[in-house]
Every structure is written in C-alpha cells, then in structure tokens.
Amino acid sequence: MQWKQNRDQWLKQLPAEDPVRKELVQQLPNEKQMEDSFYKNLEFGTGGMRGIIGPGTNRMNVYTVRKAALGLAQYIVEQGQAAMDRGVAIAYDSRHLSPDFALEVAKTVGSRGVRVYLFKDLRPTPVLSFAVRHLQAFAGVVITASHNPSEYNGLKVYGEDGAQLPPNAADVILHYMNEIASELTIEVGNEKELVDQGTLTYIGEKVDQAYIEALRTIQLNKDTLAKELSIVYSPLHGTGSQPVQDGLTAFGFNNVTIVKEQEQPDPNFSTVQSPNPEEPEAFQLAIQYGKKVNADLLLATDPDADRLGVAVKNNEGKYTLLTGNQIGALMLHYLLEQKQKNGLLPRDGVVMKTIVTSELGRAIASDYGLETIDTLTGFKFIAEKIQEFERTNEFTFLFGYEESYGYLIGDFVRDKDAVQSAVLIAEATAYYKAQGKTVFEVLNDLFNQFGYYQESTHSVTLKGKDGAEQIERILLAFRNNPPATVQDVPITVIEDYATSEAVDVSTGIKTTIHLPKSNVLKYKLADGSWICIRPSGTEPKCKFYFGVKGESMESSTEKLTTLEHAIMERVNQG
C-alpha cells in the first residue's frame, strides 16, 4: 500500500531527534490514523491548504509547509526578477506552530532569492491582504486555519492584488509542488543570514498605521453618538484584539469592554468549544459581560479576524445572535442609506454575494436601483470580480458578503475583513440608537418591507478517507436522483455547477451558468425557497444550505423547518 511506503520513507529519512519523527513513532500503533496521514498529499488549491497538525503527507507540518513554500517560490522565480524583488508578505495567527510555519515559509522562499516581508508577531488575515497591496508585494502568505478546531492549521496564498490566488496561479504552484521528489529534503535558508543580506525584512507598526488610515475611509457618518454606545468585544483568543480596538478608537468608540478571559492569544482556544463566532457558545462570556455593563452591541472575531459575529438585544431586552445573513443585510442597508443621503451612491454601484447567501441583500440593493451579482462560495470569487470591474469600469464595488459571517466594505483589502465589519456595524448601531432605535428593530423593519427571509445551514461531518468518499456519494445521489418536489412544493430549477448547467424542470430548457465549475448543486422551488448542497472546502463536511421567504416570521420559520426536515431525512436514510 502506498501510504505504508510513504510512512516508512518518513521513518527512514527523518533524524531520530526530529520532533515530527518522534510524534510519528508515537502514532504508529494507530493504523487508521497512519493511513489517513499518508494516503495522499494535503490538498492545495485556490484556498491554499489546511489540515490537522501532525506527521504525514496529508498533515500540516514543517515539511508540507516547505513544499508549498517551494512551489510558491518557483512560481515567483518563473515570473522574473521584478516579481522576486517585489517579494512575499507573510503573516500568521495564534494557532499551534503558526510562527514556526511562517518562518519556514520565509526561509524557503528567501533562500530562492525572493524578498520576504515577515510580520514580527501575529496579525489578522485582512491585514495581510492589505500589506500585499500596501507594500506592492507580488504575493502573500498567511498561516491560519480560520475558525477550525485547535488541532488544525493552514496556509493561504495571496496574489499581487491582495486576493486569494485564482485557479490558474494555484494550478501552477501545485504543478511545481508535484515535481518535488520529497518534501523531506527541501533546503531552507538561515534566518540571520537572510536578514543580514536584506532578503528578509520584519514588518509591523508602519503597516498597521497605514491600515487604520485606510480604515477611516469607510466611515460614513462622523456625527454618530459613538461615545454613547457601549460595546463588548471578544477576540476569541485570536489576532483581532489590537486591530479591532484600534479601529473602534479611530471611529470614536471609547466605551469598549474587552472579554479579558478571551483577550490573549491561545492556540487551544481554552474558553470555548470552537473559536467560531457563528456559535452561540462562543458568545457566552460576552453575554455575561454585556449584562454587567448593559452593552448595546456584542462583537466577536474568529482567530484570524476575517469573520465577525454580532449579538444585540431583542425586543424583550435579551441578547440574541444575529445570523451572518442578517448582519450583512443590516450593514448593506446602512451603507446604501448613508451613501444615498450624502449623495455618494454611484449609479453603477454593485453588491456581491455568494450563491448560498440570503436573497434579502438582493432585495435591499434593488430598492436602491443597484444590481447584485452572485459568485461561488469563497471570498476569492468576490475579490476576482472587484478586480475585473476595476479593469472594465462596468461597476463600482460597494459591498461584498457571504452568509458565513464574512464582509468587505473598502476594497483596500481583498478578503473578508472583520475589522472593517466591526467598525461599520458599530457605526450603524450608534446611528440608529441616536434615532431611538435598536438594530434589532431595524432588522424587523427590513423584514416588514422586503419579506421575512430566513436561512440555515446543516453540516454533516465525515472525517478521513472514508468520510471524503461518503461525501462524494451524497453529492452523486442528489445529482443522479434529484428531488422533484419537497413537501409537495415543486422544484422548478436545478443548477449543477459541476456541469455549469441550469435546467428548467418544466420545459427541460438548459442555460449556461457563467461561473467556474464547482461540485455544487442548487435547487430552486416554486415558492421562492432554495436548497444548496456542497462539500466544504476547508473541513471534512458536507454542507446543506436552506433559504425561504415568508409573509411573517412564523410562516417563514415553518417553511424553513419543513425544508430542512425533508432534505436531512433523505440524507440520514442514506
């Protein structure tokens, strides 16, 4: 078996004192774990790579990191001396081995003659995206696994526009990676020598200051009563603490209480089951703080501070978590409202969202006469469109978001940005408070105006080699045998993004989906509801998305529950 050959090669080649080899020896009795660690190479794509930390070709360790770094270095060298001189910006988060992995990337890339800008301590993903553009680097790398559990880490690669790599560039890097005979024999440079020769430069405060100055450009209303707003914020043990606090201060918000137990970086995320701001459990401490100080707004960012969770008081005065779709709708409404009020709303403005994001955003944008464009899941596709419109001048970017709590307002960053999101939702909350309203009441106003949109996501976790195969079988079963109705409501359109075809069920007419091919299925129902199924790109999960619109919250809740039950029952029955 190939996995056994791979394992034995690692045992043979790694020195006895190597910590990776020592861990490998400890894991040898667990054959299932060994197979999963060595049966394939850790996948690399437009999102870089992400996996469990440990020994093996299918794990995150110094050797698989060096392999990706060497592929990147060879790609840059291929572009010529100018690209090598512009170099690579590198950042890392608070996870296990993140600083070590970042340095390994720097030493691998630097030893090939490529200039390196390495943050001297941890920084959020959006600040890395900004740094690539600010420093005019040719590429960027951030070591992070976003909101995954603590046993994970990852490596994301960014292009010269500050966005995650497009497919063609990722394919070239993967080609170079596949030509590497062994990740165990890759030579790396010496940190001190790289610094002395000027190849490696440590960066920090100057980039931070430039980012905060850029952040000020998205402020819409400097007359908000910012000082009267009480905010509780938790970085959830990640990178967000300083930049979010600096951003709020720049916008005039001084009444900010930090959740002390979650302020310091902690790779184990000790106070939460998962450092995911989508989860109510992650807000438990923030809610306790909120009650003590009577906070108007509770905020939490994930470990690399690209996603933002929000909780506000409902009509009964109890804190309730807003969904990613609801946060996006509120920010979009406030943004367009203020731009129109100030005469700054461009006629060619465009809103972008992913295919699994609520249709409420489209309804809000349409009310302002603006177009909404859908992209595949992943912020790289939104960033790709921003760059396209810069080139064609077809549209002016205003706002991009996805249901998974990721938002972008100012295009000086080309990835989702929780710092931007935090200051904008704080500004909106202060503005509405000055009018005697809560954002919860504003959300209900939007429902009354546009309809009661509700959405949900269900994930089926299937780990390892067997799990990956099972996820494929689930997609194949829906693809080969699509539902005709769901609880007597007909399916009207079937969209298969793997074939780029949308089929009108009643007529059989096929139309082309003008998006990159992807293993995604979407079903649209006669009552305006929709279902979408896709494998997660970052976790061992099959994800099911549901969206409905009702005439009241009660009717939409009933629709959503019915939809969820019908589809998940089919999945559970196998």
Other C-beta atoms within 10 Å of 485: how many? 11
Burial string for 31-56 (b: 16+ CB within 10 Å, else e) reads eeebbbbbbebbebbbbbbbbbbbbb
Instruction: Write out the two tokens for 249.
Output: 């201060």
- In terms of domains, do 444 and 493 share one? no
- Residue 6 maps to a domain: yes
Q: In the prediction, which pLDDT does 45 show?
A: 80
Rounded to two decimals, what is the model's pTM?
Answer: 0.94
- In terms of domains, do 117 and 42 share one? yes
Question: Domain tally for the chain?
Answer: 3
Give me the domain span that covers residue 481: 452-573
Cα–Cα distance, 285 to 295 (Å, whole number): 13
- In terms of domains, do 437 and 559 share one? no
Cα–Cα distance, 30 to 274 (Å, whole number): 26
From the list 257, 157, 162, the residue with the least C-alpha distance to 211 is: 162
pLDDT at 224 over 80: no
Please give the order of strands across the beta sheet that includes 319-321.
Answer: 256-258, 231-234, 297-301, 308-313, 319-321
Active-site positions read 146
Instruction: Quote the strand ranges of 417-529, DSSP E.
Output: 452-461, 485-486, 489-496, 501-504, 510-512, 521-525
Percentage above 90 pLDDT, the chain: 91
CATH of the domain at 547: 3.30.310.50
- Residue 516 maps to a domain: yes
- In terms of domains, do 300 and 165 share one? no
Cα–Cα distance, 29 to 8 (Å, whole number): 14
With beta carbons less than 8 A apart as the criterion, state whether 341 and 431 touch: no
- In terms of domains, do 433 and 464 share one? no
- Residue 522 maps to a domain: yes
State the helix-helix crossing angle for 360-367 and 324-341, rounded to 10 degrees: 10
- In terms of domains, do 192 and 262 share one? no
Domain boundary among 450, 467, 500: 450
- In terms of domains, do 445 and 465 share one? no
- In terms of domains, do 477 and 368 share one? no
- In terms of domains, do 31 and 51 share one? yes
Cα–Cα distance, 241 to 18 (Å, whole number): 34
- In terms of domains, do 200 and 341 share one? no
CATH of the domain at 141: 3.40.120.10
pLDDT tens string 476-504: 999 999 999 998 899 999 999 999 999 99
Q: In the prediction, which pLDDT does 227 show?
A: 78
- In terms of domains, do 295 and 372 share one? yes
- In terms of domains, do 531 and 446 share one? no
pLDDT at 168 over 80: yes
Q: In the prediction, which pLDDT does 310 show?
A: 98
- The sign one gets for the Cα dihedral 306, 163, 145, 374 is positive
- Helix extents (H) in 219-359: 241-250, 284-293, 324-341
Read off the pLDDT of each residue in 31-44 and give the average, rounded to a whole number: 93
Task: Give one DSSP letter per residue of 151-214, joined into a string.
Answer: TEEEEEEE-TTSSBPPHHHHHHHHHHHHT-S-GGG-----HHHHHHTTSEEEE-HHHHHHHHHH
Q: In the prediction, which pLDDT does 487 show?
A: 86
